[in-house]
Amino acid sequence: MAAVSNLRSEHETRENQIAEIIEDMISKRPKMKLKYGFSDRRKYILFGLNLDTPKVVNRRPREHNHPVVHYGLIASGNQVMKDGMKRDLISQQAGSVLCFEMEAAGFMDTFPCLVIRGICDYCDVHKND
């Protein structure tokens, strides 16, 4: 946890180099752009929790297009989360969970570790395989 605290302090006081590292990798290996390049965030639509009438939630545009590191709790479980209301309830009960993951479920019981995740969906009814 000390290493995470140090990294977090570093990111709060200086710009991280994630965007430059990714751009350098893609310039050297152009085939990797499709999988690892920056996506057009205008394609992502955030819906409210009312499933009867899906309502698009308007968000302020980001000031930049580089990756952002979020620090916080990750919930680990053994099934896919596809219910936005359940997601929010568990997040609130567990202390503001940032994301839900399945790959490390149960692993931490036998091997002390730190889980680092890339968040790829909203864990709601719009999730698909």
Angstrom distance (rounded) from CA 4 to CA 8: 6
Domain ranges for the chain, please list them.
72-129
What type of residue is 127? K
Q: What SS3 class is residue 74?
A: strand
Task: Give residue 38's pLDDT.
Answer: 77
pLDDT computed for residue 51 by the predictor? 59
* Cβ burial 22-57 (10 Å sphere, 16+ → b, else e): beeebeeeeeeeeeeeeeeeeeeeeeeeeeeeeeee
pTM, 2 dp: 0.68
Average pLDDT, whole number, for the chain?
82
pLDDT in tens, 34-86: 888 876 665 566 777 765 666 777 777 777 777 888 888 888 888 888 888 88
